[in-house]
A and B are shown apart, each in its own frame.
Chain A
Amino acid sequence: MVRFENVGMRYGLGPEILRDVSFTLEPGSFHLLTGPSGAGKTSLLKLIYLAERPSRGAIWMFDREIAATPREELPPLRRRIGVVFQDFRLLDHLTVFDNVALPRRVMGEFEGDYRAEVEELLSWVGLGNRLNAKPATLSGGEKQRVAIARAVVAKPELLLADEPTGNVDPEIGARIMRLFIELNRLGTSVLIATHDQRIMERVPAMRIFKLTEGRLTSANANEIAIAGAKRA
């Protein structure tokens, strides 16, 4: 589904943020991505959701080699990916409902096609009574839930979430994680970038990717938990 081979990345002429990153995400898998702040987690996700180009190496998305894919064939690939941005990136002038419905609209669907689903999804994340609110009037945690609803509304094959539990209390955080696990059971591959130790303990992740100074290593959940316990 996603395959990186010796990928390097830099912003402009800056230093290399990612170095020799190689990994594979299989369909239906569940992965965590951890690492200290500034390690390059968000940058790695940007490469996956095709917002940045690698400076070297090769990336396959849904069996397409990205560098060899014409630009106009990228939007259909992006639609198969749902993204929860670290800074949410909600559109301030649109209502909560319209923000969540945006991916469906972009696909050319009409309101009748998605109205009920969007409303159901929003009540599921506890925002059923805020459909017409503007993002500016929401708390950080509420914005986060809107961002999550937008990411999953089009039933993506791959869900990327950047610190999705960063702004919510443990109860909502657990609920969000249950949503991700449920989506994963239904077949969506999930990759979550997080510092949140609670997530790491909760998730049946087969693998945890760890980014340090631009290099990716993988470990299993136990090792990380033990390392965390030792540090504490």
Chain B
Amino acid sequence: MNPAAPSGLMPADSASGATLHTIVAVMSFLACLTLGAVLTLSRLASEWTEGLSGSVTVQLLPSPQISPEDQLNEALRLVRQWPGIFSAKALSRGEASKLLEPWLGEGNVLDDLPVPQLIEVTLTPGQPVELAGLGRALADGVPGAQLDDHQRWNQELASFAASSEAVGWAVLALIAVATLAIVIYATQAGLQAHREIVEVVHMIGARDVFIATEFQRHFLWLGLRGGLIGLTLAAITLLGSSFFWDSREAPVGAQYLPQLVTSPFHYIWLLFVPAAIAGIAMATARMTVLRVLGRMP
């Protein structure tokens, strides 16, 4: 014992400390999860709204005016020279039948059906593409060619994402308010338990800022520890959910669902949560201690 640096004025571990940690960690966890969800929804909504979903499809319907080979070559040539197109690839019959298998079943069904030839077009990420112009050029230049930019699907997704995002922000605001209230309340309760320390140290001749500094440091660390525990649990949950969606056990189609948090950038935003919680706890401790001390002579 007797460490070289004097121990803090505050008890390192107390029953109220454990409760405080738990409360702070849970609020941090909830806030991180909600923030993660809201950030994802916000990104998806803007992507879907701008139609930047990454790919469009060209359908080639059989036309008497042009042979299937010429039709395909002409369409590929037109698409590939269009600005903002990353790649264009004709789907082989085999690939097309694989895509349709869930609906049509196995077998050589396609051979007997006039199924349109499909071209999968990948857009260059982050670059605006004049899709309407491309659609007109295809319709004019290649008989039987149609551009499907998934517009309808995208619009529905976008409005869904936008309304979910609004709900998400509302939930996040509620959680932020609740976190604020709970952290303030818990900090004040913690201080109440340490009132004797405040009084004794005050009567021994400590200045208010000395006492406030001791307390705010204690609650800064408490908020930071609790907040980081919550963040870690939230990160595990978010990562776990994306692994689940990537894995084979995931329900059919789950791979098309957005992952909750897709970029490391999102985790940087989540770091904001424990930092804010620690800041709130620290400021509350400081203000409460100074108010309590202000009532003493």
A-B CB contact pairs (8 Å), 20 listed: A50-B297, A51-B296, A71-B297, A74-B297, A75-B206, A77-B205, A78-B205, A81-B205, A89-B196, A91-B196, A91-B197, A93-B11, A93-B14, A94-B9, A95-B1, A95-B2, A98-B7, A106-B204, A110-B6, A132-B2
CB of A55 to closest CB in B, whole Å: 12
CB of A176 to closest CB in B, whole Å: 20
CA distance A98 to B14 in the complex (A): 18
Q: Residues 69-87 of chain A: 1 if any B CB is under 8 Å from the residue's CB, otherwise 0? A: 0011011111101010000
Q: Does A53 contact B (CB under 8 A)?
A: yes
Q: Tell me the residues in window 98-144 of chain A with beta carbons closer than 8 Å to chain B beta carbons.
A: 98, 101-103, 105-107, 110-111, 131-132
Residues of B within 8 A of A4 (CB): none
Q: Does A209 contact B (CB under 8 A)?
A: no
| Contact B207–A75 (Cβ < 8 Å) | yes
CA distance A101 to B204 in the complex (A): 11
Residues of B within 8 A of A77 (CB): 205
Q: Tell me the residues in window 206-220 of chain B with beta carbons closer than 8 Å to chain A beta carbons.
A: 206-208, 210
Q: Does B113 contact A (CB under 8 A)?
A: no
| Contact A51–B200 (Cβ < 8 Å) | no
Residues of A within 8 A of B208 (CB): 72
Residues of A within 8 A of B297 (CB): 50-53, 71, 74
CA distance A103 to B48 in the complex (A): 65
Which of B4, B10, B205, B206 is the most central at the interface, judged by chain A CB atoms within 10 Å of its CB?
B205
CA distance A52 to B297 in the complex (A): 6
CA distance A52 to B203 in the complex (A): 10
Residues of A within 8 A of B296 (CB): 51
Residues of B within 8 A of A132 (CB): 1-2
Which of B1, B2, B201, B204 is the most central at the interface, judged by chain A CB atoms within 10 Å of its CB?
B204
CA distance A98 to B12 in the complex (A): 14
Identify the 5 closest CB pairs spanning chains A and B, nearest first.
A79-B205, A78-B205, A93-B11, A106-B206, A132-B1
Q: Which A residues are closer than 8 A to B by beta carbons? A: 49-53, 71-72, 74-79, 81, 83, 89, 91, 93-95, 97-98, 101-103, 105-107, 110-111, 131-132, 150
Q: Residues 177-206 of chain B: 1 if any A CB is under 8 Å from the residue's CB, otherwise 0? A: 000000000000000000011011101111
CB of B290 to closest CB in A, whole Å: 12
Quick one: closest A residue to B6, CB to CB? A111
Q: Which B residues are closer than 8 A to A by beta carbons? A: 1-2, 4-7, 9-12, 14, 196-197, 199-201, 203-208, 210, 296-297
| Contact B207–A103 (Cβ < 8 Å) | no
Residues of B within 8 A of A97 (CB): 2
CB of B200 to closest CB in A, whole Å: 5
Residues of A within 8 A of B5 (CB): 111
CA distance A101 to B7 in the complex (A): 11
CB of B105 to closest CB in A, whole Å: 74
| Contact B203–A49 (Cβ < 8 Å) | yes
Which residue of A72, A102, A131 contacts B204 across the interface (Cβ within 8 Å)?
A102
Residues of B within 8 A of A107 (CB): 205
| Contact A78–B6 (Cβ < 8 Å) | no
CA distance A185 to B126 in the complex (A): 86
CB of A229 to closest CB in B, whole Å: 38
Contacts A51-B296, A75-B207, A106-B204 given; indicate if A101 touches B1 (C-beta within 8 A).
no
Residues of A within 8 A of B200 (CB): 89, 91, 102
Which residue of B4, B9, B204, B210 contacts A111 across the interface (Cβ within 8 Å)?
B4
| Contact A131–B2 (Cβ < 8 Å) | yes
